[in-house]
Amino acid sequence: MAVYLGNAGSIELTRKSILEEKLSLVNPDDVNVARRRFSFDFDEGAFLTGDFIQITSTNDALLSFIGADGWTDGNVHSSGNWYIFVDEIGGIRLYNNFNDSLEGSKAAAVTLVDITSDIPIAVSVKDSAGRILGSVIEYELNTNREAIDVTSLSDAHRQQYSSLITGSGQLTAQWDYKNVADEETVNYLMQLVLRTEIGGIFGAKFYLKSEGASPAGGTFKPTQLNDSLWWEFDALITNSATNFAPGEIIVSTVSFVTTGAIRLRARTIVSNKLLQEDGGSIVLEQGGLLAIVDEE
């Protein structure tokens, strides 16, 4: 038996939305080619910087306001996916990768093209690659199975029947608002609780043991080093609180309830990356590398 410390855990977040898409309209006046920003009507907070969104024209028209560098094949289509930067007045810049979208610079943004007529669009938040939530101090996850009393007359002992499983928990992290590369901040979760229009759901992996983490003591095989075990679920933020005290680090506590299945997964087989003919990695559209698992 080995003894593990909390240091072995971590939280991986996946930005997603399972709710309906936002329908809107891009007007010619909404597109600012010089600043590489455009806008459409949406409630403040509906889309957050770093979100991986899909824009689709609802009348099959081409998304002609997006320049050629915004398309992998250089040709304009009626639907595409991008990371976004949202400025303080609701303007949006499109980016081809997450890290650039956090920076929000004009230079890295996808170029825009003037349009002459309105383009009706549907916008939804797509699942993106999981990213580690930074500066987490602690977290807990509670799973609860409801038991229904099915005791009948004449029974001498209570009988229970297993029913639905619910999950809830909370996490505490040092507050920060500026993402570093490939990490999320707790500020994102605080924004998420205020997002009403398309829901405040997120995907999460709560690691009991991260890959590469070794125990603090006890017996441990070297081959276990790369093992990882985690809870995987989708959750809704129900509460966020930030504590300010003189001389103390600002910490935010976020409470959530799970929605859908909660799974406790384990990976004890090393995954291999599937490569291209030239030896390069195959990068997934939503981020991350394509991997395969050998069956031994």
Partner 1 sequence: MAKFYTGRDGSLLLDGVTQAKVTSWSFSSDLETLETTTLGESHRSYTPGVQGASGSATLLYYKADDGSNDAGALLKKLIHTDPEGVTETDTVVFTLRYASGDVNNDIKFTAYVTAASFGSNVGEVASAQINFQVTGALTEASL
Q: Is residue 169 classed as helix, strand or coil in its secondary structure? A: strand
73, 88, 155, 296: residue in contact with partner 1 (rule CB under 8 A): 155
Stretch that binds partner 1, among 39-47, 146-154, 222-230, 240-248 (CB under 8 A): 146-154
Residues near 154 by beta carbon (within 8 Å), at least 6 away in sequence:
none
- The answer to whether the beta carbons of residues 258 and 281 sit under 8 Å apart is no
For partner 1, the closer CB: 25 or 147: 147
20, 140, 146, 285: residue in contact with partner 1 (rule CB under 8 A): 146
For partner 1, the closer CB: 145 or 263: 145
Does 164 participate in binding partner 1 (rule CB under 8 A)? yes
Q: Is residue 28 classed as helix, strand or coil in its secondary structure? A: helix
C-alpha dihedral (212, 217, 222, 226), degrees to nearest 10: -20
Does 285 participate in binding partner 1 (rule CB under 8 A)? no
116, 154, 219, 223: residue in contact with partner 1 (rule CB under 8 A): 154
Does 145 participate in binding partner 1 (rule CB under 8 A)? no
For partner 1, the closer CB: 116 or 152: 152
3, 68, 148, 290: residue in contact with partner 1 (rule CB under 8 A): 148
Question: CA 243, CA 252: separation in Å to the nearest integer?
Answer: 6
For partner 1, the closer CB: 148 or 250: 148
Neighbours of 70 (CB within 10 A): 23
Does 261 participate in binding partner 1 (rule CB under 8 A)? no
From edge to edge, which strands make up the β-sheet containing 52-57? 22-26, 119-125, 52-57, 79-86, 92-95, 37-38, 31-32
Calculate the alpha carbon distances from 185 to 27, 159, 188, 192 in Å.
33, 46, 6, 12
Q: Segment 183-242, which members bind partner 1 (CB under 8 A)? A: none
**Applying CB under 8 A, which residues contact partner 1?**
146, 148, 150-156, 161, 163-164
